[in-house]
Amino acid sequence: MSKEIPIRSFSVSLFVLRKSADGWRVLLLKRSGKMLNGQWCQIAGGIEHRETAWQTALREAQEETGLQLTELYSADCCEQFYEAHRDAITLAPVFVAYVDERCEITLNHEHSEYHWATFAEAQQMLAFPGQRKTLNWVRENFAERAPSALLKMPVLP
């Protein structure tokens, strides 16, 4: 009899973009603490009870960076990765937010630094192939072209 590996979906991934005179930038955060200490990543976090995935993206952005997002989209994709300690595959819905280039970032205790990276820089900074694959998707579908209005989340200004 064969064993089935569970598929779990309990967290979200959020890429925050801003456009400036020199092109698009993506927000990366440097992790501090036990999990992925010293690694650069996008905003991510667990979905809480009675919370939708897009509401989690809004909350995590506010908690981790102080950003109050007003323009949020489903990226129409999921990050996927295998977690050996759980022997499970995790799927995380991906979201994309646009912010003004003058926005201010206030980091919480989970991160020690932030950087507005070009897409090329971000490709070098992100540790995992799945992150880089998702970043390419975000660049192609949210920076190089305008996203479909059908992907916009119901965020109130």
CA distance 114 to 106: 9
Confidence of residue 157 (pLDDT cuts 50, 70, 90): low
pLDDT at residue 97 in the model = 98
Q: Are 41 and 126 in contact (CB under 8 A)?
A: yes
H or E element at residue 88: strand 88-98
Q: Identify whether 57 is part of a domain.
A: yes
Q: Is the pLDDT of residue 155 over 90?
A: no
Are the CB atoms for 147 and 141 separated by under 8 Å?
yes
Residue 48 sits in a domain of what CATH number? 3.90.79.10
105 occurs within a structural domain:
yes
Number of domains in the chain: 1
Give the rounded percent of residues in the chain with a pLDDT score beyond 90: 85
| Residue 85 lies in domain | 7-147
Is 77 contained in some domain? yes
Residue 11 and residue 35 in contact, taking contact as beta carbons nearer than 8 Å: no
Residue 112 in domain: yes
Q: Per residue in 7-28, pLDDT tens?
A: 989 999 999 999 989 999 999 9
In a domain, residue 156? The reply is no
Q: How many other C-beta atoms lie within 10 A of the C-beta of residue 33?
A: 11
143 token code pair: 């920076």
DSSP letter assigned to residue 1: -
Tell me, what's the pLDDT at 36?
81
Residue 155 forms part of a structural domain = no
Cα 11 versus chain centre, distance? 10
Q: Which helix (H) or strand (E) holds 113?
A: strand 111-117
